[in-house]
Amino acid sequence: MNSNCTLAQIGAVLQEHQRFLVVSHFRPDGDAIGCSLAMGLCLQKLGKDVTVWNEDGLPERFDFLPGASLVTASPEVPMAFDVVVVVDTAVRERVGARTLGAIAPGALWLNIDHHVSNDRKGDLVYVDTSAPAAGQILFELFEQCALPVGREIAEALYVAISTDTGSFQYPSTTARTYEIAAALVRQGVPVGSINQSLYENCPRRRIELQRALYDVLRFDFGDRVASFALTQAVAAQVGAIPDDTEGLIESIRRVEGVVVAVFFEELNADMVRISMRSKDVRMDVCKICGEFGGGGHILAAGARIAGTLSVVQERVLSAIARHLEALPTV
């Protein structure tokens, strides 16, 4: 942990100010949305004026959550706030240029996060890299500072923690994580229906997308690296939206013998988004992605890299090979 404040200090700020903005990173995952909603709903219960923005708005797969309409896309005209709360975001720029431009100067910035690559920028920064999800940090904040929770907030926190731990499967999951999940269930979280909404309710276009990606699946370096790439043309052909790609990399990460999995997504002719996963802590994908201006966690990271799809694939796979070769055995 490398923070400049305590949870108690953050709790005091939440009590003392009135106008709040809650933001998270663009292309939001379950942790980002769950934390945004949990924080926004908690502040509403405290009687605060609350706005929740995301550069890309609310992904449709999370619209089942109570209070989901609270998350909106950022506007074009700047607005003034007392406090900006940034959740589950390692670098401020990842909230998006439009969102940053819509925040008038003068606000106090809070940063609550769990990424190893967090740049520690903010007036008050609380980063716990041992937490498997930012949602777990928010639970600790709410509990320690006696802030309101209730079923709606509990559902948002459950989604945040469940999605970022791979449904409680990843090695960062601890006994405390399970204790928190149990506490959330006691608040009334409907585990069965939430899990069905999260994991058993994908649109057909996502299956068509997955089929197209399997057609270009490749294995390299003794089958230790699996990767596939999505072009704009294929995305348009199957009618995929950006959120449809979330989590698809896990299907190749789980292949026996694979150590590193990579998903390449062509954003435009000169920009590629990569997601990278590892099954071996010695293969630090945060470090590899850091070479390309990205970051994340040891076992899960990403980046946006300028260049054509073929060039970026070659550069990234070469970097992975270099790290593999540096290991005695993998």
Which pair of tokens denotes residue 299? Answer: 């076992």
CB atoms within 10 A of CB 218: 13
- Do 17 and 90 fall within a single domain? yes
The predicted structure's pLDDT at residue 127: 97
Both 117 and 45 in one domain: the answer is yes
Instruction: Give domain status of residue 221, yes or no.
Output: yes
The mean pLDDT of 273-296, rounded to a whole number, is: 95
When pLDDT is cut at 50, 70 and 90, the band that residue 3 belongs to is confident
Instruction: Express each pLDDT in 90-145 by its tens digit.
Output: 999 999 999 999 999 999 999 999 999 999 999 999 999 999 999 999 999 999 99
Domain end call among 158, 183, 199:
199
Residue 26 lies in a domain: yes
How many distinct structural domains can be found in the chain? 2
Q: Look at residue 1 and tell me if it is in a domain.
A: no
Is there a single domain that holds both residue 110 and residue 253? no
Q: Considering 199, 218, 252, which residue would you say is the last residue of a domain?
A: 199
Which segments of 165-308 does DSSP mark as H helices, in order?
175-186, 191-199, 204-215, 232-238, 250-253, 285-290
Residue 91 neighbours by CB under 8 Å, 6+ apart: 117, 118, 119, 121, 295
Same domain, 134 and 73: yes
Residues 219 and 264 placed together within one structural domain of the fold: yes
What is the maximum alpha-carbon separation in the chain? 58
Provide the CATH number for the domain around residue 256: 3.10.310.30
The Cα angle at residue 57 between residues 56 and 62, in degrees rounded to 5: 115
- How long is the chain? 330
Tell me: do 82 and 104 sit in the same domain. yes
Among 174, 199, 224, the domain-final residue is 199
Structural domain includes residue 89 = yes
Average pLDDT estimate for 296-306: 95
The amino acid at 308 = T
Same domain, 86 and 110: yes
Is 74 in contact with 58 (CB distance < 8 Å)? no
Q: How far apart are CA 225 and CA 314, in angstroms?
A: 13
| Residue 330, pLDDT above cutoff 60 | no
Owning domain of residue 270: 204-325
Q: Are residue 75 and residue 102 in the same domain, yes or no?
A: yes
Q: How many CA atoms lie within 13 A of 207 on its CB side?
A: 6
Together in a domain, 177 and 43: yes
Percent of the chain predicted with pLDDT > 70: 98
Q: Is residue 47 in a domain?
A: yes
Same domain, 145 and 231: no
Same domain, 171 and 113: yes
Whichever domain contains 69, its CATH number is 3.90.1640.10
Whether residue 39 is found in the same domain as residue 174: yes
Residue 24: pLDDT over 70: yes
Angle at 56 between CA 53 and CA 57, to 5 degrees: 50
Can you read off the two tokens belonging to residue 55?
Answer: 């550069």
What are the CA-CA distances from residue 129 to residues 60, 90, 114, 117, 302 (Å)? Answer: 29, 11, 4, 9, 17
Rounded to two decimals, the pTM is 0.90
